[in-house]
Amino acid sequence: MKENALTSPTLGILSFPIIYLLFKIGCSPLAMSWTLFVVYVLLGLVQKPYLLIKIVGYSIKDIASVFIPCFKVLFLGSIIPFMIYLSKDRLFQESYVYFIIIVIVIVSVLSVILSAYFWGLNKEMRTYVISLLNRTTKK
């Protein structure tokens, strides 16, 4: 537990000198967001799984069984929305900006829901989700 209490804040604090240096060399304020994004990705994808293996006794296989479905959903759920975003100039006129945003949001949500259902859940969880949906629609 001490490792988590010491390493997580240390990585967070280390982002401040990096951000300061980036601002000093003339980077835009967006550099702060990217720096913090990288720090939190390192915390979530490297440091926390390492601590779960070291402290709790999980294996790499246990960690991978969680991460692999998540990455499948991330990748497969973003293909269609990304393709729509890239072809938005050919599909829509510029006067329909709000319509474009609404279409991309709706397609993104449906794409993530479907990819999570088919590639993120195992058969047992899919059955459980269907039973929950059936129960809520009957009420």
- Model pLDDT for residues 95-121, shown as the tens digit of each residue: 677 777 888 889 899 999 999 999 999
Break the chain into its structural domains and give their ranges: 1-58, 64-139
Provide the pLDDT for residue 112: 93
pTM for this entry: 0.69
State the Cα–Cα distance between residues 3 and 98, nearest whole angstrom: 47
Asked if residue 56 lies in contact with residue 4, where contact means CB atoms within 8 angstroms, the answer is: no
pLDDT of the residue at 24: 94
How does the average pLDDT of the chain come out, rounded? 88
State both tokens at 58. 């999980």
Residues in the chain, pLDDT under 70:
1, 91-95, 139
Predicted local distance difference test score (pLDDT) of residue 1: 65
